[in-house]
Structure 1
Amino acid sequence: MSGEILFLAHRVPFPPDRGDKIRSHHVLKALADIAPVHVGCLAETHADMAAARFLEEIASTWCMPRRSKPLPLAGMEALLRCEPVSFAAFRSRKLSDWVRNLLESRKVGAIFVFSGQMGQYVPNDWQGRLLIDLVDVDSAKFEAYGEAGSGPRALIDVREGRLLKAEEARLAQRADTTLLVSEAEAELLRERTNETSNIRALRNGIDCALFDPGTVAPEPVLTQDGPHYVFTGQMDYAPNVDAVTRMACEIMPEVRRTLAAAQFHIVGRGPTREVRSLHGVNGTSVIGEVPDTRPWLAGADVVVAPLRIARGVQNKVLEAMAMARPVAVSPDAASGIHAAENVQLLVARDNAAFVAGLLRLAQEPDAARKLGQEARKFVLETMSWPAMLADLPRLLGVDEEPSLNAA
């Protein structure tokens, strides 16, 4: 590759305070160290619009239209166009025009697409280097929603999964490299697309300097009677809603039979009505959005992630491990991290195992402390962001001889 880079993302990659933004943020920073970068993304909130100042600092040029299309309207548009709802929801004429004009006026040698719904912005006649970061196999996720659900919503999810599967296959066939967050996700996409040569894993990293337990004081409420269990995440995201409901209604009652003062704290923005209704249930408190999750992690006796549906690498798990906390997770939530079970991470395969693990950690504080220490050691040694992104220049073809596919 020679020339500049166009980076397309479905959300503005600032601030890095949720799973997709954390990954896109660090990828964008790494790209900006390689070549001048132009950023096209979409904003959803006033806070997103305020993040424009960060784009000005890192991007040569940028475009960030406000995404305001109501979901029902996006759904109708998707039905008429026989496309996934997420395509219609993230379509912007302004952004599309900006991309076309940019490619005509600047020497762009590579396009990096972050998230599959942004593939629609790559012109059909683009001949330069193309990297597509799908992160997760979203089609499989919607298929799982459809199988687990019922009624009209299940039908919508089944349709979304089917259409996304076709789009993932198209993108994988077209891209020079298709990236997934874990080898398990990469293998899943290979199986579903019959593409093998250009699909690979690019794992998530962790900012170990930011998530350093030595620099953060625990949230005061967590220093009172406990033990205290903490879940962090976007609380209008269906797998997270299911996970905290499972913890509050299925796991906590059994834990409190032995540990009557045990408390469960749900920390994250956008709690749904279902999540808010858990406040006060079996020692559960719904905290909602906080300016910084680190004090909650620092004070947790155990950070829990009992997700029944999870794709890729869970940033919430990496953050807790970096904070040297004991972490108890489902097998799905542990996927892609490759930590040693019961040495760096407690993996519980059912509710009974969760209960037994939480009770054991409460009864054996030295073992709990050791689990947290080994967790931080693991992420420090193997999962820093620079280590995860070191291969980006090669994937972009930097310093390679021009090929037939070059612009």
Structure 2
Amino acid sequence: MKILWVSPFFLHPTDRGGQIRTLGTLKELHKRHEVHFCALNASSNTEGPQRAGEYSTRSFAVPHDPIPRASLRILPQLFQAIFSPIPLAVSRYHSTALERVIAERLAEERYDSVVCDFLACAPNFREMEPAVLFQHNVETTIWQRHAEQTSSSLRRRFFGLQARKMAAYEAQICRRSRFVIAVSDIDASRMRNDFSVTRVASVSTGVDVDSLAPPPHADPVSDLIFSGSMDWLPNIDAMEFFLKEIFPLVQQELPRTTLTIAGRAPDERVLRAAEGVAGVTVTGSVPDMRPYLWGSKVSIIPLRIGGGTRLKVYESMAAGVPIVSTTIGAEGLTYTPGRDLLIGDTPQQFAQQCVRMLRDADDRAAVAGNAMRLVRDNFSWAAVTQEFEAILQQNRL
């Protein structure tokens, strides 16, 4: 097949879960198919376009610098978002230049398949009918959970407004798309029930099991590890929640417990929550997340907000690190609670599961071993991309 793949960003540096999922999928597809990759690209990013040949035959970079969410310059966009029918999380990735490039590619080339990667890319398509929409999350769910979890009445109103706009927009785009690929059965079911989408199927999240396999010996990093993009609102909420309500309970039982928060662009709220807390390290961006996983005893995923599936779950499993998660943190993934990972949905439950793992090395090894076998047997990128490829074949133009 000849595939046109359109994304809101290039895939290097690879520091977001969505990038990891797209990169793993495209590397496999590129082994057998011709891939033309179009994406927005920040002016400071030279690595992305330079490395696009690792997963595509041709690439087209469109300069685009969204205003950072933490910048005061975003205030006019926030004001406009109150009155615009398009939610802010989508409109900030609209580019007339990318819209023109997509139209030119479709006019000049005969593609067998067109992929709109992420809902955020949809405004750049003049028509969605030819495109398979790759939905990494049900975006509406994320905004609804933001509104439910925030303690600020002003934020609750804003998040609620954005959730309603997202629901209307997401439903429209999903129904107009040629087909929708979700990342879990739960997400696919939500789209059918909430958006009346009939052309939808799920493809499991994959993981690079070979590169994540733990070495015989690893330098110690910390007792607990949280990995992820630290400017993503669900991760920010998770760390505020953990540091304020869970970590003190863990340290009551095990006072010397250490925690590393590893991931790019830590938000000021995370830094404030971690400030002065004994045993906590916030790294910011790291060149390679694997040593941080290998050198930690337990991977924590205390998410209260989110949609789609968290790649950090399968990555931690493949790295041989036992996991304590909330139900939402592991939502949409295949696992047996208590066997492959531990679940705690209240601060007390989560803290108890962390203490259990930290106190018992044999217990940690058993849970980690079960999880490693699960991902190795079922969720390599080669295995899951075959499902993705079959859907594209069935929905050729």
Q: TM-score, normalised by structure 2?
A: 0.91
2-side partners of 1:26 and 1:194: how far apart?
A: 30
2-side partners of 1:49 and 1:77: how far apart?
A: 31
By how many angstroms is 1:33 displaced?
3.4
In 2, are the aligned partners of 1:308 and 1:332 still within 8 Å (CA)?
yes
Which residue does the alignment assign to 2:196?
194
Matches within 5 A, 1:2-401: 4-44=2-42, 46=44, 48-70=45-67, 71-75=74-78, 78=81, 81-124=84-127, 128=130, 130-149=131-150, 150-195=152-197, 197-214=198-215, 218-222=218-222, 228-277=223-272, 278-397=274-393
Single out whichever of 154-163 and 237-246 deviates more from structure 2: 154-163
By how many angstroms is 1:339 displaced?
0.9
2-side partners of 1:235 and 1:304: how far apart?
A: 14
CA change 1:265–1:57 in 2 (3 A) is closer
Single out whichever of 11-20 and 298-307 deviates more from structure 2: 11-20
CA change 1:146–1:358 in 2 (3 A) is closer
In 1, are the aligned partners of 2:227 and 2:262 still within 8 Å (CA)?
yes
If you compute each CA radius of gyration, which structure gives the higher value, 1 or 2?
Answer: 1
In 2, are the aligned partners of 1:252 and 1:282 still within 8 Å (CA)?
no
1-side partners of 2:233 and 2:129: how far apart?
A: 38
Amino acid at match of 1:259: L
By how many angstroms is 1:91 displaced?
1.2
2-side partners of 1:239 and 1:369: how far apart?
A: 29
By how many angstroms is 1:187 displaced?
0.8
By how many angstroms is 1:42 displaced?
1.3
Which residue does the alignment assign to 1:403?
none
Amino acid at match of 1:65: V
Q: How many residues align?
A: 389
Q: 3-state DSSP class of the match of 2:18?
A: helix
By how many angstroms is 1:4 displaced?
2.3
CA change 1:76–1:246 in 2 (3 A) is closer
CA change 1:66–1:76 in 2 (3 A) is farther
For residues 69-108 of structure 1, give each alpha carbon's deviation from its aligned partner in whole angstroms, at most 9, with x where no partner exists: 4334544555565322133211112111111111111112
Q: 3-state DSSP class of the match of 2:306?
A: coil
By how many angstroms is 1:191 displaced?
1.2
In 2, are the aligned partners of 1:231 and 1:265 still within 8 Å (CA)?
yes
In 1, are the aligned partners of 2:43 and 2:65 still within 8 Å (CA)?
no
CA change 1:393–1:358 in 2 (3 A) is closer
- After the TM superposition, which segments of 4 or more aligned residues of structure 1 sit over 6 Å from their partners? none
CA change 1:218–1:170 in 2 (3 A) is same
Q: 3-state DSSP class of the match of 1:213?
A: coil
1-side partners of 2:328 and 2:104: how far apart?
A: 43
By how many angstroms is 1:144 displaced?
1.9
2-side partners of 1:234 and 1:219: how far apart?
A: 23
By how many angstroms is 1:146 displaced?
2.2
In 1, are the aligned partners of 2:258 and 2:279 still within 8 Å (CA)?
yes
Single out whichever of 351-360 and 65-74 deviates more from structure 2: 65-74
Single out whichever of 163-172 and 55-64 deviates more from structure 2: 55-64
Q: 3-state DSSP class of the match of 1:83?
A: coil
In structure 1, the gaps of 5 or more residues are 223-227, 401-405
CA change 1:108–1:213 in 2 (3 A) is same
Amino acid at match of 2:101: W
In structure 2, the gaps of 5 or more residues are 68-73
For residues 229-260 of structure 1, give each alpha carbon's deviation from its aligned partner in whole angstroms, at most 9, with x where no partner exists: 11111111121112122222222222222212
Aligned CA-pair RMSD: 2.2
Q: 3-state DSSP class of the match of 2:256?
A: coil
In 2, are the aligned partners of 1:78 and 1:87 still within 8 Å (CA)?
no
CA change 1:148–1:257 in 2 (3 A) is closer
For residues 36-73 of structure 1, give each alpha carbon's deviation from its aligned partner in whole angstroms, at most 9, with x where no partner exists: 22111112362x33221122454343222232243345
Single out whichever of 145-154 and 22-31 deviates more from structure 2: 145-154
2-side partners of 1:135 and 1:263: how far apart?
A: 32
Q: TM-score, normalised by structure 1?
A: 0.89
2-side partners of 1:219 and 1:363: how far apart?
A: 19
In 1, are the aligned partners of 2:8 and 2:121 still within 8 Å (CA)?
yes
1-side partners of 2:331 and 2:66: how far apart?
A: 34
Amino acid at match of 1:242: D
Single out whichever of 201-210 and 69-78 deviates more from structure 2: 69-78
2-side partners of 1:96 and 1:15: how far apart?
A: 24
By how many angstroms is 1:322 displaced?
0.7
1-side partners of 2:61 and 2:75: how far apart?
A: 23
By how many angstroms is 1:334 displaced?
1.4
Q: 3-state DSSP class of the match of 1:358?
A: helix
Amino acid at match of 2:3: I
